[in-house]
Structure 1
Amino acid sequence: MGTMTSDTLATTYAAVRGAVVDPALRDALVDVWVEGVNGGGAVGFLAPVTAADVAPVLEHKLASVLAGDYTLVVLSGPDGPVGLAFLERVYKPHMRHWATVTCVVVTPALQGRGLGRRLMEAVHETARAEGLEALRLAARDGHGLHEFYARLGYVEIGRFPDAIRVAPGDERDELLFWRRL
């Protein structure tokens, strides 16, 4: 667990791996994820979504957290969770030195206050503590995420043209990034 502060909001983070996530925390994470997608975030769904849409996907990921295959990183403010991300490990023995960062989401009402950067710093600190040497992530083009991740030291290593269909006739590239820790 770590603490981070700024002029606007004090936050803490916690990393969970190999443990059950409390039902109240699980429900709060569903809310953050739903708010993130419905607020325009590119986080595995297209808006509009409901808790009923997101909860089964979160449950699947939390089963992998319990199994020790994923690590959940939760960023919390004074009133509870404000962001989350997952570190998903590769199963091949010769690729266990890196993980994929997925489901990076911050509550839209609090965006613009440095929380995305703080969440990613928590992800990096957690990854280092777990002995990881590098991280990979994918993001939807057209959301300003290229610049965000570049400022955090990520390098674009490729893209899948038109891989994400936002709507018929509105396809976006999936951007692939890599960062050494």
Structure 2
Amino acid sequence: MDPVFDRALRDGVTALWADVSNAGGAVGFVPPVTEEDIRPELAGHLVAMAEGRTRPVVGRDGDGSVAATAFLTRNTHRLMRHWIGVYTVMVHPRHQGKGYGRELMAAVAGAARSVEGIDAVRLTCRGGTGADRFYASCGYKEVGRVPGAIRVAEDDYRDDIIMWLPLFR
């Protein structure tokens, strides 16, 4: 949680994001993408981190390479400050199926529990990827779905699935 976001980490997250996107991961892009395509999106996360609105969770593999990330963002709406959102959840394709995702989501829940006043975690995922089944296996419950809200191609619309993890109930 909250590693120093130096150039090496920034470059590692950028490369991870591009690799995940190009492997078909549902993290805001449709392949093919380059690291140059990713940089403006990461810059938005960096601004939010500098403003104290977003906190990164980063996992590394045995070689020290960035293997997984998630970004926790405080909700600023006065009636919704009791939950935190998690965005840009990624595990490098070479590490998928090895438990990295479960470790990442456990770290996300632990980090959220450490924030005073946070009762739950909310995330969204793209339908048709199986991500909703993965998050459900981590304790999240589907609480909403917007059919066809995500357009990944001219004739390919996916549901936007809202998932919720209560932390203390």
Equivalent in the alignment of 1:147: 133
Letter of the 1:141 counterpart: G
Equivalent in the alignment of 1:163: 149
Equivalent in the alignment of 1:7: none
Q: Aligned match of 1:130 in 115, 120, 130?
A: 115
Equivalent in the alignment of 1:48: 32
RMSD: 1.2
Equivalent in the alignment of 2:158: 172
Equivalent in the alignment of 1:69: 53
- Give a deviation string over 1:64-95, Cα, whole Å, max 9, x none: 11211001110111222101011111112332
**8 Å Cα contact 1:16/1:65 also seen in 2:** no
State the number of aligned residues. Answer: 165
1:4-83 maps to which residues of 2 (within 5 A)? Answer: 15-16=1-2, 21-79=5-63, 80-83=65-68
DSSP-derived class of the 1:176 partner: strand
- In structure 1, stretches of 5+ residues that fail to align are 1-14
Letter of the 1:77 counterpart: D
Cα drift, residue 163 of structure 1: 0.7
For residues 43 and 56 of structure 2, the distance between their equivalents in structure 1, rounded to whole angstroms, comes to: 12
Cα drift, residue 97 of structure 1: 1.5
Note if 1:84 corresponds to 2:69. Answer: yes
Letter of the 2:94 counterpart: A
What is the TM-score normalised by the length of structure 1? Answer: 0.88
Note if 1:117 corresponds to 2:113. Answer: no
- Give a deviation string over 1:50-77, Cα, whole Å, max 9, x none: 1001011101111111211001110111
For residues 93 and 169 of structure 1, the distance between their equivalents in structure 2, rounded to whole angstroms, comes to: 38
- In structure 2, stretches of 5+ residues that fail to align are none
